[in-house]
A and B are shown apart, each in its own frame.
Chain A
Amino acid sequence: MLARASAALLLPPLLFLAPRARASSDPAEAEEEREGHGHGGGGYRVVQWEWSYVQTPYVIAVWLLVASVAKILFQLSRRLTRVVPESVLLILLGLALGGLALLADDKQPYQLEPALFFLFLLPTIVGDAGYFMPARLFFDNLGAILTYAVAGTLWNAFGTGLALTAAHRLGVIDERVEAGLLDFLLFGALISAVDPVAVLAVFEEVHVNDTLFIIVFGESLLNDAVTVVLYKVYISFVEVGTENVQMADYFKGMASFLVVSAGGTSVGLVFAVILSLLTRFTKKVRIIEPLFVLLLVYLAYLTAELFSLSSILSMTFCGIGANKYVEANISQKSRTAVKYTMKTLASIAETLIFIFLGISAVDKSKWAWDTGLVACTLIFIFIFRALGVMGQTWVLNRFRLVPLDKIDQVVMSYGGLRGAVAFALVVLLDGQRVKAKDYFVATTIVVVFFTVMFQGLTIKPLVKWLKVPRSTSRKPTINEEIHERAFDHILTAVEDIAGLQGYHHWRDKWEQFDKNYLSKLLLRKSAYRKSELWEAYQKINIRDAISVIDQGGNVVNAARLSLPSVTSGASFPDASNVTSYLSVHPAGVARHSHFCQHCLCYIFLFFYRRENGSGVCLDLQVVDKVPGAKVEEETETHHVLAENLYKPRRRYQSHYSRHFMPAGEKERQDREVFQRNMKSRMETFKSGRHKRHKKERGLKKRRASDARDDGGDKPRRSIDRQDKDPVVIPVVSDEDDEFQCRRKEPETDDDVGITFVALKAEAPQKRPHSMTGAPPAADAHLPWKGGGAPWPPPCLSLEATKVIPVDLRQAWNQSISSLESVSEAAGSRAGASTRPASYAGAAPIAPAPLLEKNQEEEEEEDETVPLVPSRRPPVPSPLPAALAPGRHRKPRVYLRSLVTSPPSGGSEGPAGKGPTQL
């Protein structure tokens, strides 16, 4: 942002604006301006023309717009973009625009200005590349990257320069090109560097494997130091004249290489430390976190430029160094913001660079064509690149564990693209001193175009033809992450055993150092404990949860579609119909089968959040038909509601704040789903494990410690128990008591000898059979029908049987009242029901399966009995008294999961707030 703003100040001399040229590129724009400035006011002129006032920012904005629109247009044709890289299209567009401008005016008004390029366009791209550089991959291949970047670039530069001089001497290059050895060496230096912008643009579309990409891309970044030094040294040599160059100057040149590269790197690292430290203390100012990142990375670039060090190196290392700590320190939102801002800037900068390259090419004043020079340059850079790669790879392969094979070498040679850096450097040459500047400029343009367009176009088919291993964008699974780490440890250990101090040894040392000192210094305390694996684990969970939500969303639609078909005459089975619809879908996806209950919970929430009145209304019709509802179901429903409703009620008081972002609906959902998801995963799993124990040891009593481990499956067991009498709702008097109870719990459980299985996985598979409205007799074969073994109702969520803690009662009341207000509206619209809406919503979730199970008992009940009084007390406190003591202990266990399940403000949320639910 800042960069752009200040660009406005610098640009006026650069962007001379010829009105005709403007009109050609953007005809509609003039009108806009006139209208836009109608408010000018003052004096007798209603409308004033203030072009000079807005010119610079306006031109920039319009260019950005053109670039962005161009990107949209290219994406319109998928077939085109699949074959032709975007960079090629952009250059072509630039050529077209330049041609138009040239038609309108003799002088080319725009071109890629080196100052603009080096100060604004390049840093955005390098900043993005550095910050999001896969650090591990980069450092794993650092040796190869450095070799190619330093030795390779030097070889290319000298080789090309000397060969061109030879060609010049031999007369292949025309005499008009007034250039000596130094000029050619200078030209060789600037033309030999592989360009990060071009490499990124082309390789991003090719998707070669990671190693290959990082080697080529890393080289293009790190060769900056070599290019800068060579360029500067030659410029100074050219300035003083060849004859005045002394031996000492060569050594100075070498020294300056060390200073430029090491200095650039250390500036970058210093800024990385500053940035990490700064983000450690931004907890209170989350909103400007992204700005810190952008600013300091940019400052690293500028500072290096200030001391004429290698700015690209500085920025790259600042990004790589800071990334780990910054990402851990800043909030998730800031992470997204940084990512998007950087990507947006880089993408638009890249687009502009290619467009401007195209435009710059169309400039008569630049063209000083010499076929010999162009042809020689093209041939030489290609030959020297190939030779250099082969030679260096041969050396490197003696040291590399994973050798680079022939195919890799071909791609590397072919992927040595030249780009805007070379162009900007050649434009910067002083025409007075370097007589052949115009020839060099023309040649550079041709070389850049040839590499970007021809090689860029052909590299994709080439990679396909050579069957270069591609990269996969697949996310690693938890197991893979674990083993990645395992490899590191094992290899370090093996190196240690073998008495070697290899790469793994030093990496391990560095990790220790990082953990013991750097992380302590640079990371927030809260972030310090989390490892990358943990992050990955969390991400995977969130991904799962979101996919469940998505499914839930679809399912809701299906359910909604089906609902109208429920005839009014149909009685109870239709109610479960809804549930069967809901459950059929997830059942197909085995992996998510045990999330089914969560689907249901969420469908429920979706009804309330999205469909507001209408969802409720639809449900009402169904529930209307439900015959007598028992108190058990009411309580179940009630708990489902309580569990599911109080969370979304958490809202920020203020709707607008400049300094804080209210948590988005989506984010809260994600968090919620994540928690539930994990809970359920663990339970399914542990219950399975529990069963295994049983298998092994029969009814042998477990040790107390073992039992504590298994805490997770208690709730499920208790569901079993409650299944028969779910009215168990003890008054939550104090939690300590309850915790003590929990300790003894498992033993009694064991004594009971309930065998239970991973039912959650099973439930969705079974349900479709049971819920297609079959008569109750047909249900007899179902496991939970048979005998005294208490099976949990299939899709009854564990939350459903939870007890509402005291502090949530108020929330419950409120949700009831809020639902009522909706139901009144909905009811009047539907004209069908006067029933409280609270049950309408809950019906598809908890009661339906339960009803189905209890069908036999229920059938004789009066169908017209109203489900509930419209406003029940939240917790039916008298009930516990009626319970058997042994039984009454169980449900309390649920409280634990309720208590331990991170409510994240849940307790505070509902209290004292209006019915904000709908």
Chain B
Amino acid sequence: MREGRTKGGTWRRGCVSCPSIRAPKVPLAFSGGAMGSWQARPEQQHYYHQLAQKTGFSAEQIKNLHHRFRELSANGETIRNQQEGESGRLEELDLGHFLMVMSHFRPPRHKSGEDERCAVRRQKLRFLFNMHDTDNDGTITLVEYRKVVEELLSKSGAIGHEAAKAIADAAMLEVASTNVPHMAPDEFYEGITFEHFEQILNGLEMESRMHIRFLDVDTSTVRCGKAGSTSTP
């Protein structure tokens, strides 16, 4: 994403930043990227096809996601971020971007080579990394990491604020000690870079984990979005 995979500008990191964020408030940024008139019938097919090529979704899945998108955006063309971004600009997101983000969670094709797996893995890691790196400076600092852990743990009420902080500290220390074992006395571990991030999550099976199943059947009847969806942590 940071490499500017989308044609209409780069994704702001910090999108979908915390688990507590739910559908109605997808704070995905959007900058530029004028989209075609996809509502027209024949063009819609074409547009779907385009999107399918770009995101790897099947046309059927795109249609379902489009349903969902319209549900979320209240039939608008874009989803707006209800809370104004701190930068002051209105953040919004259109179907193309929506699909692009979702495509990160598309299961990989069954017969994928080693290279492809690596690429998928890197891409997913990058996604995670950008999520954690809220200030967009290429490192996850302690403050950012603490925030992540707190969002993950203390907000869901599993453990207290202090404990979450302690865990984040310990985790950070672990990163520091694994990546920079011989730290000079006056050196300071600035934060987790992407390389280090890759390193520490080496043991995690990423490519087979970070995805969900996008159904081919129509799910528009499923009413889990909107109000109901915010109940989960």
Contact = CB atoms under 8 A, between A and B. Distances in A.
B222 A512 contact: no
Given A403-B110, A500-B215, A591-B177, A493 B200 contact: no
Nearest to B221: A499
Given A401-B208, A482-B152, A499-B219, A692 B190 contact: yes
A501 B222 contact: yes
Interface of B (DSSP majority class): loop
A397, A484, A688 — most chain B CB neighbours (10 Å): A688
Interface in B145-204: 148-149, 152-153, 156-160, 163, 166-167, 169-178, 181-190, 200-201, 203-204
B71 to A, nearest CB: 7
A758 B183 contact: yes
B232 A509 contact: yes
A534 interface: yes
Interface string A463-507: 000000000101011111011111101111111111111111100
A815 to B, nearest CB: 32
A483, A691, A765, A766 — most chain B CB neighbours (10 Å): A483
Interface in A757-781: 757-759, 761-762, 765-766
A494 B204 contact: no
A508 interface: yes
A491 B212 contact: yes
A397, A530, A537, A766 — most chain B CB neighbours (10 Å): A537
B73 to A, nearest CB: 12
A390 interface: no
Chain B, interface residues (CB within 8 Å), range? 35 or more
Contacts, number: 198
Contacts of B188: 688-689, 691-692, 695, 757-758
B149 A496 contact: no
A503 B214 CA distance: 11
A283 interface: no
Contacts of B183: 590, 758, 761
A479 B174 contact: yes
A720 to B, nearest CB: 14
B90 interface: no
A106 to B, nearest CB: 58
Chain A, interface residues (CB within 8 Å), range? 35 or more
B225 interface: yes
A505 B26 CA distance: 17
A499 B190 contact: no
B209 A487 contact: yes
Given A401-B208, A479-B175, A590 B222 contact: no
B152 A590 contact: no
B167 A537 contact: yes
Contact of A494 (B173, B187, B212): B212
A504 B158 contact: no
A762 B186 CA distance: 8
A395 interface: no
Nearest to A709: B165
Interface of B: 16, 19, 21-23, 26, 64-65, 67-68, 71-72, 102, 105, 107, 110, 128, 131, 142, 148-149, 152-153, 156-160, 163, 166-167, 169-178, 181-190, 200-201, 203-204, 208-215, 219-220, 222, 224-225, 229, 231-233
Ranked nearest first, the 5 interchain pairs of A and B with the lowest CB-CB distance are A489-B19, A762-B185, A531-B158, A499-B68, A590-B181
24 contacts: A401-B212, A401-B213, A477-B171, A477-B203, A478-B167, A478-B171, A478-B174, A482-B148, A484-B204, A493-B22, A494-B16, A497-B102, A498-B102, A499-B219, A500-B214, A500-B215, A500-B222, A509-B232, A540-B174, A591-B177, A678-B166, A688-B189, A758-B185, A762-B184
Interface of A: 397, 399, 401-403, 472, 474, 476-480, 482-487, 489-505, 508-509, 511-512, 515, 529-531, 533-534, 537, 540-541, 590-591, 678, 681-682, 684-686, 688-689, 691-692, 695, 757-759, 761-762, 765-766, 783
